[in-house]
Amino acid sequence: MAQIPDSVIEEILAKADIESVVGKYVSFTKRTGQNLFGLCPFHSEKTPSFSVSLNKGIYHCFGCGKGGNSIGFIMEIEKLTYPEAIRFLGEQYGVEVPVTSGGDNNGSEKKMKERVYALLTEAARFFYASFVGDVGKVARDYAAKRNLSKDTLRAFGIGYAPEGWDNLYQHLINKGYTDEEMRVSGLFTVSKKTGKLIDLFRGRLMFPIFDSFGKIIAFGGRSLGDEMPKYVNSPDSLVYKKQEHLYGLNFAKKAKSNQLIIVEGYMDTIAMHQAGITNAVASLGTAFTDSQLRLASRYAEEVVFFFDSDKAGQNAAIRAIRMMLKFLKKMSGLKIRIKIAYVPDGKDPDEYIRNNGKDSFATVVANAKDVDDYLFERAYNDNCDEDGKLDQYKYQDDIILYGSWIQDELRREKMATNAAVYLGANYKTVLNRMNEVMNSAIAEQAAADKRDLIRSEKDTVRQRVEENEGDEPVTQDVVADVRKTNSDIVYLQELKLFVLAVRLKELLATDVDREDVLRPGDFRGENMKKIIEFFLKNFDERYGINEALLINELSKTTLNGMPAEEVYLRACDQFNDSNNSDVRRDEYLMTVYDLRLKQIDGMERMIVKYLEAATGAKKDDLLLRYRKLNAYREHLIAKRDKL
Ligand SMILES: [Zn+2]
């Protein structure tokens, strides 16, 4: 299996310098020497804990703990695999990445993907042949009714899926595709009656959906009459995630415009392209997503949205704007200007172009409003009655909320200043309120992010417990013959607990229940137990431990066969620090509870084993211990779940 050569990876790491890679997503607010700081794109925060080290070529977040090099950053933020991230950077930085059969991806999955791409292209051929053949008359008539020109039909690869249950299926079987390949292609569904694969698209006008490079990845099908549903779309599949693509982008990017016009569906996009507005794209049967906004930002500096003018359309507009502004706040380095356009008389863009022509539509686009101006007007218009009387209370709620979404301070201040006139208030008071709402929203989001983080941490801890199952060392005097462990052994989670405890400093005494303070019994190795004894003995309730003293002590002993001092310093690098003391304390507590719970599991397993052979008083004693352990477990779980 061919791998991407190291020389290519080295070239990419040399060219794709960490500052420019990360800078596309994060705007740096502080620079000290070789370090840059900004708001973390992976978790919500008010003060920057995300840093980039220029000389090391890495990023690191002290808040959520994410870190790595340029390639790792792209994997994390673009949700790509390692070879995909290399390809992604190669394209951006002009490094040729040879096509490999496997990369570190699973080779068979890669092969399957190639088969599915080929299958989709074959399906498009089949639909196109049906469209131009005898069976396609009904579809051609429909296309003519919609004024779609021959050139347009060809350019967009429009086809027809004939009536019948298995036309495409039979065609692909004859071309040598297997049931399994068809199953994952998204073009088939399973018959409830027979359990066999049947065509998903029947009697529909077919739109191939392309990725931004022009590869067919899915299809949309429109009914030709009144059958419902009007549109059927391929489900997400091995090669297609609808939230991550924009319909028509492969064509629109050729327009080399710095602007993308976002419309509702396939037909709108196609009609606009036919009318000469070639920078139009559509989201694919979903509300516009943040992945789509990021995708758009790679090709344009500005996106112009059209929303329906009815109530539902206007509500959708607010939801989409809120989502996008929230996303842009996190991705502070992502520069894209959002504009909202209205089609006069509440018409579709498509309809408007047909009636008024391309030039007049260009004026509509040119009159699109910046998103903050749009919100400002919305707050006013939504809260005015027919006589033009403003409901100041409702207006106040809306405008403060909208202001809190605006990332740019100047634009926020401008909104506050203008709103202050309607509210008869001082702009500073209005601005303060906007800032308050903004900050509490960030705090709320940060709490939610932290819960996610802790949940994923819990999962990895559980995984480790499961992995370790069977050789759980037992400590303390619960069972008479404690299994012997190497005296200098230390487990990763134990190290983590120790590092976190040292970092808590005096908070370990003031902010943590006495019973939750670490103790020698939490550690399995003798050397580690002695280190903990030293730590507790020298712990100062006002300052924590003197780290120089601690390191001096560590230098006298070993852990896992290495100098303990080195093990400790490495662990300090590995377990990230938050600058928020609550986060640090909770992380510490999470670790101590999980570690103790894991120990309880081990002891209980041991007791169960001994119980089999035990009788009389010995048995009662074991049972009593078992019950005590159980009670302690409940107690720990209750505490952990409160975090
Ligand atoms: Zn972070």
pLDDT in tens, 110-147: 788 899 999 999 999 999 999 999 999 999 999 999 88
Give the separation between CA 536 and CA 521, rounded to whole angstroms: 13
- Rounded to the nearest angstrom, the distance between the alpha carbon of 67 and the centre of ligand 1 is 9
- Rounded to the nearest angstrom, the distance between the alpha carbon of 287 and the centre of ligand 1 is 27
Give the separation between CA 485 and CA 475, rounded to whole angstroms: 9
- Rounded to the nearest angstrom, the distance between the alpha carbon of 45 and the centre of ligand 1 is 8
Give the separation between CA 452 and CA 444, rounded to whole angstroms: 13
**pLDDT value of residue 472:** 34
* Token couple for 328: 């842009």
**pLDDT value of residue 468:** 43
- Rounded to the nearest angstrom, the distance between the alpha carbon of 643 and the centre of ligand 1 is 20
Do 161 and 203 contact (CB within 8 A), yes or no?
yes
Do 56 and 93 contact (CB within 8 A), yes or no?
no
Most confident of 52-61, 158-167, 220-229, 516-525: 158-167
Q: At 508, phi and psi to the nearest 5?
A: -60, -30
* Token couple for 533: 């004894």
**pLDDT value of residue 453:** 67
The radius of gyration of the chain from alpha carbons, rounded to an integer in Å, stands at: 31
Give the separation between CA 176 and CA 195, rounded to whole angstroms: 21
Place of tokens 């048995």: 619
Closest CA to 490 of 473, 476, 465: 473
- Quickly list DSSP for 261-297: EEESSHHHHHHHHHTT-TTEEEE-SS---HHHHHHHH
- Rounded to the nearest angstrom, the distance between the alpha carbon of 504 and the centre of ligand 1 is 19
How far apart are the two ends of the chain, measured CA to CA in Å? 47
Do 496 and 475 contact (CB within 8 A), yes or no?
no
- Rounded to the nearest angstrom, the distance between the alpha carbon of 174 and the centre of ligand 1 is 52
**pLDDT value of residue 457:** 59
- Does residue 285 surpass a pLDDT of 80? no
Give the separation between CA 107 and CA 110, rounded to whole angstroms: 5
CB atoms within 10 A of CB 102: 16
* Token couple for 254: 């050729």
- Rounded to the nearest angstrom, the distance between the alpha carbon of 63 and the centre of ligand 1 is 5
Encode pLDDT of 479-537 as tens digits: 333 334 468 888 888 999 999 999 888 889 888 888 899 998 899 888 999 999 999 98
Average pLDDT over residues 394-400: 96
Place of tokens 């005096």: 506
- Rounded to the nearest angstrom, the distance between the alpha carbon of 407 and the centre of ligand 1 is 18
- Rounded to the nearest angstrom, the distance between the alpha carbon of 281 and the centre of ligand 1 is 32
Average pLDDT over residues 250-271: 89
Place of tokens 């609808």: 242
More confident site: 284 or 136: 136
Do 260 and 279 contact (CB within 8 A), yes or no?
yes
> Which H or E run includes 207?
strand 204-210
- Rounded to the nearest angstrom, the distance between the alpha carbon of 411 and the centre of ligand 1 is 26
- Rounded to the nearest angstrom, the distance between the alpha carbon of 408 and the centre of ligand 1 is 21
* Beta strands 259-263 and 280-283, pairing class: parallel
Average pLDDT over residues 199-203: 94
- Rounded to the nearest angstrom, the distance between the alpha carbon of 73 and the centre of ligand 1 is 12
447 band by pLDDT with thresholds 50, 70 and 90? confident
**pLDDT value of residue 456:** 64
**pLDDT value of residue 474:** 31
- Rounded to the nearest angstrom, the distance between the alpha carbon of 64 and the centre of ligand 1 is 4
Average pLDDT over residues 561-576: 78
- Does residue 330 surpass a pLDDT of 60? yes
- Rounded to the nearest angstrom, the distance between the alpha carbon of 214 and the centre of ligand 1 is 35
* Token couple for 386: 């027919």
The residues facing 338 across adjacent strands are 303
Average pLDDT over residues 609-617: 79
Give the separation between CA 548 and CA 540, rounded to whole angstroms: 14
- Rounded to the nearest angstrom, the distance between the alpha carbon of 39 and the centre of ligand 1 is 8
- Rounded to the nearest angstrom, the distance between the alpha carbon of 398 and the centre of ligand 1 is 30
- Rounded to the nearest angstrom, the distance between the alpha carbon of 87 and the centre of ligand 1 is 25
* Token couple for 606: 């041991």
- The DSSP 8-state label assigned to residue 390 in this structure reads B
- Rounded to the nearest angstrom, the distance between the alpha carbon of 77 and the centre of ligand 1 is 12
- Rounded to the nearest angstrom, the distance between the alpha carbon of 17 and the centre of ligand 1 is 20
CB atoms within 10 A of CB 68: 15
- Rounded to the nearest angstrom, the distance between the alpha carbon of 55 and the centre of ligand 1 is 20
Q: At 57, phi and psi to the nearest 5?
A: 70, 30
